[in-house]
Amino acid sequence: MNDEPDDRTSFADLGLRPELLRALTGLGYEEPTPIQREAIPPLTEGRDLLGQAATGTGKTAAFALPVLERLAGGGERSSRAPFALVLVPTRELAVQVSEAVHRYGRELGARVLPIYGGQPIGRQLRVLEQGVDVVVATPGRAVDHLSRGTLKLENLKVVVLDEADEMLDMGFAEDLDTILNETPETRQTVLFSATMPGRIDRLARQHLKDPVRIAIGREEAEPGEAPRVRQSAYVVPRAHKPAALGRVLDVEAPTAAIVFCRTRDEVDQLTETLNGRGYRAESLHGGISQEQRDRVMTRLRNGTADLLVATDVAARGLDIEQLTHVVNYNVPSAPESYVHRIGRIGRAGREGVAITLAEPREHGMLKTIERVTKQRIHMEKVPTIADLRARKLELTRAALHESLLEDDLEHFRVVVETLTDEFDVMEVALAAVKLAHEASGAASDEEEIPEYVPRAGAGERRGREAGGDRREPRKPRKPSAGMTRLFVGAGRSSGIRPQDLVGAIAGEARLNGREIGAIEIADRFSLVEVPEASAQQVIASLRGATIKGRKVTVRRERDDPR
Ligand code: AMP
């Protein structure tokens, strides 16, 4: 379970034709997900299939690719009547699935049509009339078309029931029976469902013939197999993921992190976004040459890069000693993949942090991972603009405090004095703080990221989502209990990284790395939390020491009375 499957099956090994393989390469897919590996061969042979898989596992491609393979293969295509019908619970899913089928089947010239309620029926009628290969429909609208005689199922070769549990939850059981009864006995039937309650079993017994059964996350890990790391997840709509990741990284300040993405394009785009936000990110995927790969690894090892953005394939076999954080930019396609990824951190007693960003629809997959690994994944809230502002103000305050203690301020006195003829001293101070704050680049305004609140009701999987919103309180900006924050007079502009501080404190003050708390690095200074009981010892032992070749001021932060 700790190791990834040994068989490195490629899409070509699954027997897909070149047109489909090119489409997948074009989309930046590097290898099949576990469910695709298991489902594609039997489905291409025409077997029925009962699959337990949630959103995020790659189930759409698992049924869409065999449909397209068979469509292109057997001369079974009719000019008018649909070859395949995919039934889905919601209009959003209808659009999403039909877009996916269209993207995979573009070179094959596959004609795809989503039909769902709420859309004018006239357009659907015209396209159906011209001929369609794959119809992706919500059950209600499919029944409408059947009763009007505008959807003809007599040539149908494949029926897919996607998210079948959800369709039953939404009261579509009768519609499903009506539709399935209109289809030829000889059809292939595929049923995917995130859960397998008795009602799904009954549906399968009634409509599937000797199905192949596959499940993602059925096996449970042996307790203790997964490494002990702090595991958190953030549920964020897709459009806000880059910003959310930026904020989470700001708060976490990883020494070195690997950010896993699904596809090559996603790796490239995210690397660009993160570099644009001031991180030093490098990308690694299957399209990158060995030479480049070596360069990237050198940069990561010597600390000139702190983030590695990678696909699973490219990250295989990498061992990065200083890795502190693993970030799943999407929910991994199977619990095994999650376990394997986070196995890179938390080794040999070192601490590690695993962070997962999930889209609202992928919430169910997080629960599966928790169940399989028997470990809690803490649901956290993405830092808000207010959190970020407060944090940035805190850094400005600390910078001013430093300046008050250290700098020679006398020759600015004339400025303040002339201004106080006209303004109150407090007002002058406020304006000066504003300028200092803005000059530190701290004034950037960001778009608010909506908070995700799981709903019970239509479209949500009730039982499984229940209790899923156990939010942990945000990290306090005050030092944690029993900890004291120290001010270190060197920051990013002197090339200080968290590991330098940990190294110096651990080396000079003989503190265990684990005892050191949150570290924040600003441009000209850093703040480090150490246990109150060791604070004096740390200050004393760093007094004569150098960090990155420089002597630096180290003292308690604020005018700490202690
Ligand atoms: P699904 O579980 O079908 O909703 O798919 C989740 C996401 O994974 C979609 O954005 C797909 O485009 C993507 N995806 C599916 N299969 C693969 C693959 N083999 N490699 C990379 N991404 C994939």
User: What is the C-alpha to C-alpha distance for residues 456 and 178, in angstroms, rounded to an integer?
Assistant: 28
d(CA 527, CA 490): 10
For residue 556, give the nearest of 545, 538, 548 by alpha carbon.
538
Grade residue 75 by pLDDT with cuts at 50, 70 and 90: low
Listed range (109-113, 242-246, 276-280, 543-547) with the worst mean pLDDT: 543-547
- CA of 61 relative to ligand 1 center, distance in Å: 7
Cα of 56 vs centre of ligand 1, distance in Å, is 6
Residue 546 CA to ligand 1 centre (angstroms): 49
Residue 32 in contact with ligand 1 by CB distance below 6 A: yes
- Measured from the CB, is residue 57 less than 6 Å from ligand 1? yes
Please report the pLDDT score of residue 473 as a whole number: 31
Is pLDDT larger for residue 355 or for residue 299?
355
Q: Cα(212)–Cα(198) distance, rounded to whole angstroms?
A: 18
Q: Which two tokens stand for residue 450?
A: 């909506």
Task: Categorize the per-residue pLDDT at 454 as very low, low, confident or very high, splitting at 50, 70 and 90.
Answer: low
Tell me, using a 6 A CB cutoff, whether residue 114 lines ligand 1.
no
H or E, element range at 368? helix 363-373
Query: pLDDT at position 101, please?
Result: 98
Question: Which range has highest mean pLDDT (18-27, 296-305, 339-348, 547-556)?
Answer: 18-27
Residue 477: which pLDDT band, with cuts at 50, 70 and 90? low
Choose which residue among 260, 328, 333 to substitute to test ligand 1 binding: the one with the highest number of ligand atoms within 8 A of its C-beta: 333
How far are the Cα atoms of 5, 174, 297, 301, 345 from residue 319, in angstroms, in the given order? 18, 54, 10, 10, 10
Q: From the CB of 335, is ligand 1 less than 6 Å away? A: no
pLDDT of residue 468: 32
- Atom of ligand 1 at shortest range from CA of 11: 19
Amino acid at 412: F
The 10s digit of each residue's pLDDT in 357-409 is 999 989 889 999 999 888 899 999 988 877 777 877 888 898 898 888 877 88
Please write the tens of the pLDDT for every residue from 500-557: 788 888 878 877 777 787 787 777 788 888 888 888 888 888 877 888 777 888 888 7
Can you list the domains of the chain with their CATH numbers? 12-216 (3.40.50.300), 229-383 (3.40.50.300), 386-439 (no CATH), 483-556 (3.30.70.330)
Asked if residues 2 and 339 have their Cβ atoms less than 8 Å apart, the reply is yes
Q: Are 44 and 212 in contact (CB under 8 A)?
A: no
Q: If you take atom 19 of ligand 1, which residue's CA is the nearest one? A: 32
The candidate with the shortest Cα–Cα distance to 240, out of 58, 451, 96, is: 451
Tens digits of per-residue pLDDT, 122-165?
888 889 889 999 999 999 999 999 999 999 998 899 999 999 99
**DSSP 3-state percent helix, strand, coil across the chain (nearest 5):** 45, 15, 40
**Confidence at 474, pLDDT banded by 50, 70, 90:** very low
- Express each pLDDT in 164-186 by its tens digit: 999 999 899 999 999 999 999 99
Dist. CA 535 → ligand 1 center (Å): 49
Q: Amino acid identity of 274?
A: L
Span 233-247, mean pLDDT? 92
192 in contact with ligand 1, CB cutoff 6 A? no
Decide if 387 contacts 246 (C-beta within 8 A).
no
- pLDDT of res. 76: 59
Is the CB of residue 58 below 6 angstroms from any atom belonging to ligand 1?
yes
Could you tell me the CA-to-CA distances from 425 to 193, 429, 431, 476 in Å, in that order? 67, 6, 10, 32
Check residue 2 and give its pLDDT: 38
- Give the pLDDT of residue 545: 80
Please say whether the beta carbons of 5 and 34 come within 8 A: yes
Token pair belonging to 178: 């009506």
Better-scored residue on pLDDT, 509 or 10: 10
Q: How confident is the model over 311-323, as a mean pLDDT?
A: 84
Is 474 within 8 Å of 383 (Cβ atoms)?
yes
At 5 the pLDDT is 45
